[in-house]
Amino acid sequence: MLLANKWICFGAVAAVAGLVLAGCSGRPAVNPPAESDQSPAQASNGGSSAKALAKLTAADREAAVKQAVCPVTGEALGSMGTPPKVAVNGQEVFLCCAGCEEELRKDSEKYLAKMKSK
């Protein structure tokens, strides 16, 4: 009986660790196609990024494609739906998901510096 409880506990820990490692979306990353004419942001999730980015205005879409990744997680913009745009320290920043906004605001200088270095 004790051995069975250890395996159940181990399974629960492994499941939680898998979700944490998957990132904000709670789903595993999808491998990009081998050869593609898509941008890195679009290729990272098989093209659904293009649909998510298409919901932005033309100017915002251009800015999001140029930025390419979320400064907080490094995830491709559009990989978790239409990327939210937030203004921080007078700068507009796109995020992979709304869940990153709190972290961005908490340490904005760190994340804005990451964006400038690219």
Task: Tell me how many domains the chain contains.
Answer: 1
User: Alpha-carbon distance 37 to 102, whole Å?
Assistant: 34
What are the CA-CA distances from residue 51 to residues 12, 47, 75 (Å)?
35, 7, 16
Query: pLDDT tens, 8-23?
Result: 444 444 444 444 444 5
Give a yes or no: residue 70 inside a domain.
yes
Give a yes or no: residue 3 inside a domain.
no
Give a yes or no: residue 108 inside a domain.
yes
Query: pLDDT tens, 71-96?
Result: 999 999 999 999 999 999 999 999 99
Q: Is the pLDDT of residue 65 over 80?
A: yes
Three-state DSSP class for 73?
coil
Where in the sequence is the domain holding 101, given as residue range(s)? 46-116
How many alpha carbons fall within 13 Å on the CB side of residue 99? 10
Give a yes or no: residue 71 inside a domain.
yes
pTM: 0.61
What pLDDT is attached to residue 113?
94
Percent of the chain with pLDDT over 70: 59
